[in-house]
Structure formats: C-alpha cells, structure tokens
C-alpha cells in the first residue's frame, strides 16, 4: 500500500481578484519546473487542505491549489452571490493564465470531480489528464439518495441528528428546508443548520467514522461556508444546463487520459455514479477500492490516488 508523501510547504501563496466581489486564495508547491497539476477541492465550500499536497511527489509535480469562491482563505467568506459552477470554471482558467501554465493535469474528488468534469469538458485543450475520485455529478437521484432518502437507511443514528433542525412539516424537501435556514438573517438559525448539515456528511464519509472529522465539520466557521455553499449549489441543480450534462458531454474528454478511483462502500457518492461515468468515458482507467468509503484519506483510496499521480508524473 502506498503511503502519503511527507508534508511540504508552498513556495508561493497569493491572492487573485477574479471579480469585483470575489478574491481567490491560491498556492503553488512542489517543483516549479515539474508537471503542472491543479487540485479542485470538494464541497463545494470545503476549502483546500495541506493534506492534498501529500498525494504528489514534490520533485516531479508543480502543484497548484486554490480555495474556491466563498470558502477557505478566499473572500468574501460564505458568499453565495456570483458563486456558480461556471464562475469556478472561469476562475480555474484565470488562474492557469495568471500562472502562465499552458496545460495541466486536473485532480478532484467528490464535488471536485464534478468541477473537474465541467472544466475539462469546457477546456479539453488545456488538460493533460484527469484523476478523479468519489464521483459526483449533481443529479437529482444523487441528491435525493444522500439528503432525502437512501443513506438514512445505513446511518439512521446520524440521520436523526441531521433531521433535528427541520420541523416534521418541512421534511418532504429537506434540501429546500435547509436552504431556508442557511440563508436566514438570524445567525443562530444559520449555524444550527450548518452544523447539522456538515456533521451529517462527516458522519458518513468514511467506512469507519472519524470523530476527528466529525468535530472539524461541526465547527462554526467551517460549517457555515460548507453548508451554505453546498446547499446553494444543490437548490440550483449545480447550475447545469441539463441533469445529465456531464455524462452527455464525455465525448469532449474522450482523448484525455483519465483515472477514476471509487470506494466500493461510498455512501455519500455511491458507486453507481462512477460506474455510469465509466460507461460514458470508457477510455479512462476505472478502479474500485474494495474496502473504502468516500474519504480521500482512507488507506485504499490513498494507495490508488498516489499510484495514479506517480503514473501521470512519469
């Protein structure tokens, strides 16, 4: 089993103003002359983590990482205005041009896989390859499974906590009920909803739940941006033109080398979604990790992703 590379620090951090409202925080690490890769974090609203650098050999990769609009170190925090999938696609291109990178590998998991597909299908000529994990395509059946009825059958104890902020009369559409609270003028109402929403995801992400992850996701600052931005995207159906847009446009990436890594017991983004992507994009290598859930940090996922990044580096 491959292990994470030792943690290394960025050689550059900066701010890039991408609109009159939004400023993006970015960093570069690894080898300035290495193969460029951009890391697209999950959520949306999850922000970047130093952990992501450790999936790459610092001698071979030039690693670009940034916090998407409204989260991490980007400003304004938890902002929903001018915050769509296509704003993020434009931001990725703006960062690439700003850093004078001709082409790069795109690495993303969960929502990061959604954004990776949207970006690569819009700018296939800028992509050297795709490494995707825990596939999420923001379709109604995926949202219904995790936020309305499905995952609740596997984690009824965590589901009970998720339901608490929502009155019984509003539980027929939980995403909408949460959106109402997450956009409330009352900060106490927003934070109660944000904590419950975020802890639900943390409670279900790993094959063996992690109390450390649950605690982090329940912290006010992280939870507010994470829950607000996620729910904003979900209510707006990902700002996609059609529900199956990302599947229907796989012909645009057919010539891009790709690797799909999926945990067999992923409850957040069930394996069927990655399977359907594999059917539409058969040129990509498809790996099901037999003893993993959704989290990027599970041993089998770590092994598969580092094997993939080493393969692409060479």
Q: What pairs with residue 108 in β-bridges?
A: 40, 132
With 0-12 / 13-18 / 19 or more C-beta atoms within 10 angstroms meaning exposed / middle / buried, residue 159 is middle
Phi, psi of 211 (to 5 degrees): -65, -30
Catalytic residue among 48, 74, 110, 198: 110
> Which of the residues 120, 232, 294, 295 is marked catalytic?
294
Q: CA-to-CA distance for 217 and 54, rounded, in angstroms?
A: 21
| Cα–Cα–Cα angle for 146, 147, 149, rounded to 5 degrees | 75
Cβ atoms 41, 49 nearer than 8 A: yes
Pairing of β 258-263 and β 285-289: parallel
158 secondary structure, DSSP code = H
- Residue 76's φ and ψ, nearest 5 degrees, are -75, 150
277: nearest Cα among 296, 291, 292, 258: 258
Sign of CA dihedral 102, 28, 6, 268: negative
The answer to whether 22 is a known catalytic residue is: no
Full DSSP string of 234-297: HHTGGG-SSTTHHHHTGGGGTTS-EEEEEETT-SSS-HHHHHHHHHH-TTSEEEEETT--S-TT
- Please say if 278 is a catalytic residue: no
266 is catalytic: yes
Residues 6+ away with beta carbon under 8 Å from 309: 37, 55, 56, 57, 61, 107, 131
Its sign, for the CA torsion 209, 215, 216, 219, is positive
| Residues with a known catalytic role | 110, 266, 294
């Amino acid at each position: 089993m491959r292990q994470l590379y030792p943690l290394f620090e960025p050689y550059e951090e900066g701010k890039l103003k991408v609109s009159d409202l939004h400023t993006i925080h970015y960093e570069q690490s690894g080898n300035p002359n290495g193969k460029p890769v951009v890391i697209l974090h999950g959520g949306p609203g999850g922000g970047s983590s130093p952990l992501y650098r450790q999936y790459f050999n610092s001698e071979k990769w030039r690693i670009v990482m940034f916090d998407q609009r409204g989260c991490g170190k980007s400003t304004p925090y938890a902002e929903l205005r001018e915050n769509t999938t296509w704003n993020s696609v434009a931001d990725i291109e703006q960062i690439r041009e700003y850093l004078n990178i001709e082409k790069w590998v795109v690495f993303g998991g969960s929502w990061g896989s959604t954004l990776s597909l949207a970006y690569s299908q819009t700018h296939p000529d800028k992509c050297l390859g795709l490494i995707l994990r825990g596939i999420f395509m923001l379709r109604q059946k995926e949202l219904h499974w995790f936020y309305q009825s499905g995952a609740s059958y596997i984690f009824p104890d965590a589901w009970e906590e998720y339901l608490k902020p929502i009155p019984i009369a509003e539980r027929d559409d939980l995403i909408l009920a949460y959106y109402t609270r997450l956009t409330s003028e009352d900060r106490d109402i927003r934070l109660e909803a944000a904590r419950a929403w975020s802890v639900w995801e943390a409670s279900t992400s790993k094959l063996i739940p992690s109390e450390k992850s649950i605690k982090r996701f329940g912290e006010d600052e992280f939870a507010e941006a994470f829950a607000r931005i996620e729910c904003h995207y979900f209510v707006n159906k990902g700002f996609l033109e059609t529900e199956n847009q990302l599947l229907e446009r796989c012909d645009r990436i057919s010539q891009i080398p790709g690797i799909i890594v999926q945990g067999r017991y992923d409850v957040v983004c069930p394996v069927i979604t990655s399977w359907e992507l594999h059917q539409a994009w058969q040129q990509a290598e498809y790996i099901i990790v037999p003893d993993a859930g959704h989290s990027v940090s599970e041993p089998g996922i770590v092994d598969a992703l580092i094997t993939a990044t080493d393969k692409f580096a060479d």
